[in-house]
Structure 1
Amino acid sequence: MEQPPMKILSTPISVLAWFELNGKPHPVRFKLDGKEIKIEQIISMTEEKIAGNWVLLFKCQSNIDGELKPFELKHELNTCKWYLWKM
């Protein structure tokens, strides 16, 4: 069964991540609406330049409410802010 298309949310979120010595982040979990969501799998990570700002786009999936759901996180490199981009 195919997943419905993801909606663009662009919601600022708190993320727990670990960083390599070169500064590359690895998100572990995030909070959304007071609920903590563990990132079970990072499918891909790409670097993009949006409106002159470099961002890392993480395509991920997690078991949310008993269902495997895909989502995308964005990390702005110049502001260090995280966003739940699509879900």
Structure 2
Amino acid sequence: MKVVAKPIEMIAWFEQNGAPHPIRFRLKNNDECWNIIKVERVITVEKEKLAGNYMYVFTCQSVINDVTKVYVLKYELSSCKWVLFKI
């Protein structure tokens, strides 16, 4: 997997305790087009602390351009931002 660290727009649902569950997201390509990707399977969920910021780290799987790919999404709790970290 390659580190890309791109900000994304996410649709997710949250439990009462604040734990997020990603549903689908979109990201902007180099040619300014939007790609919409449905999160088909969440493989693992971990919580990490990076530079004093707590983050949820999701390892997910989806079909992107007719190829099944595994990627890593991160959700930063303090800023409520989602990042496509690796793909």
Give, in angstroms, the shift of residue 50 of structure 1.
Answer: 0.3
Number of the residue aligned with 1:47 = 47
Give, in angstroms, the shift of residue 32 of structure 1.
Answer: 1.6
Number of the residue aligned with 1:9 = 4
- Secondary structure of the equivalent of 2:85? strand
Number of the residue aligned with 1:31 = 26
5+ long unaligned stretches in structure 2: 29-33
- Secondary structure of the equivalent of 1:23? coil
- Secondary structure of the equivalent of 1:11? strand
Give, in angstroms, the shift of residue 9 of structure 1.
Answer: 0.7
Number of the residue aligned with 1:3 = none
Give, in angstroms, the shift of residue 45 of structure 1.
Answer: 0.4
C-alpha distance after superposition, 1:4-40 (max 9, x if no partner): xx11011110000000111110000000220110000
- Secondary structure of the equivalent of 1:74? strand
- Secondary structure of the equivalent of 2:18? coil
TM-score of the aligned structures, taking structure 1 as reference length: 0.92
Q: Following TM superposition, where does structure 1 have runs of at least 4 consecutive aligned residues deviating by more than 6 angstroms?
A: none
One-letter code aligned to 1:50:
L
Number of the residue aligned with 2:76 = 76
- Secondary structure of the equivalent of 1:78? coil
5+ long unaligned stretches in structure 1: 1-5
What is the alpha-carbon root mean square deviation over aligned residues? 0.5
User: How much identity, in percent, do the aligned residues show?
Assistant: 49
